Amino acid sequence: MIVRPVRSSDMPALIAMARSTGAGLTSLPANEERLAQRMAWAEQSFRGQAARADADYQFVLETDEGEVVGISAINGAVGLREPWYNYRVGLTVSASRELGIHRENPTLFLANDLTGNTEVCSLFLDAKYRHNGLSGRLLSKARFLFIAEFRELFADKVIAEMRGISDDNARSPFWESLGRHFFKMEFSQADYLTGVGNKAFIAKLMPKFPLYTCFLSEEARAVIGRVHRDTEPALTMLRAEGFTHQGYIDIFDGGAALECETANIRAVRESQTLVLAIGTPGDEAPQFLIHNRKREDCRITVGQARAASGALVVDATTARRLRLAAGAQVRAVPLSAQVGWR
């Protein structure tokens, strides 16, 4: 498989995937107009014609047979055109020595603290391709290799808003206990409106004062900072790349917002530029994430490879997927954090 920039011809596949995601994946709405708009932004972004505030790099995962089975994206910078909201989970202490009372109350503060950061988003993989884990890792981690290659296009911190807890009927405990009191709509409708660009409008109706979580239901408190079961593999991958949860959550479903300094992302920190060589890496060679170092014609894949004397030895199939000949430059990093360079 390869990861490449999205094209307008991918629309049928993207719509099909968007309709199968369920509630909570706000950056992939089942709205053809919105997806077409994002595709247009993506094409401009890959051509270098978009400012960081508007840049939207969308990638698809494509099989050797040409079937599009996944999507992921990078937003150049969030919150520079319209406000970007999160709740910051803080702590309020109430104490009285005379009464012998000491209470620590987790508190939600509406914040714009993550404004200006680069965001990785829209990660979705067709269910048929989730079983081996390799496809998902390629789709997710390819974005970090792209950031490493074009570091000047992105902010000094990267964030990822993770999909929060909701059930099979698109019911979010966090929304039911908080958001529903301010909006006469279902969580799925609020989620959809957010996905088509109305997040700032909805957020304006949220309470601006600190909210004590003790007033939320026990079920709602239990999901704060947690992620949907379908998002747990993505959470594991992001943690392996250096991302951590620093207390910010989504304002609608309470899902964790992760963050990492760009320079500290493993794929950014450890990737190297090498000369491509075509040969036989060997049966014991580790899997590498490999980028052809192009932007508009970007192609990223995973293949067994062996690094030696400034060269990366891959087989002919991997070179063909990258559309490169021997002697071309590539950017590469071991797929697994546990492998490292040998």
Q: Which two three-digit tokens encode residue 130?
A: 């989730």
Distance CA 176, CA 174 (A): 6
- What is the distance between the alpha carbons of residues 276 and 335, in angstroms, rounded to a whole number? 17
Structure tokens at 340: 């490292």
Backbone CA torsion sign across 260, 263, 267, 270: negative
Are the C-beta atoms of 41 and 56 separated by less than 8 Å?
Answer: yes
Enter the tokens of residue 1.
Answer: 């498989």
Residue 332: what residue type?
Answer: A
- From CA 318, how far away is CA 277, in angstroms rounded? 11
Residue 217, classed as helix, strand or coil, is: coil
DSSP at 88: E
User: For 50, which DSSP code?
Assistant: S
Tell me the CA distances in angstroms from 179 to 61, 103, 190, 216, 228, one per residue in order.
Answer: 35, 26, 9, 11, 18
Residue 12: how many other CB atoms lie within 10 Å: 10
Residue closest to 55 by CA, chosen among 39, 75, 82, 73: 75
* Token duo for residue 29: 């709405």
Catalytic residue among 102, 131, 181, 228: 228
Q: What is the DSSP string of 90-151?
A: EEEEEEETTTTEEEEEEEEEEE-TTTT-EEEEEEEE-GGG-SSSHHHHHHHHHHHHHHHHTG
Three-state DSSP state, 255: coil
User: Known catalytic residue: 228?
Assistant: yes
Q: Give the residue numbers annotated as catalytic, written as ranges.
A: 228
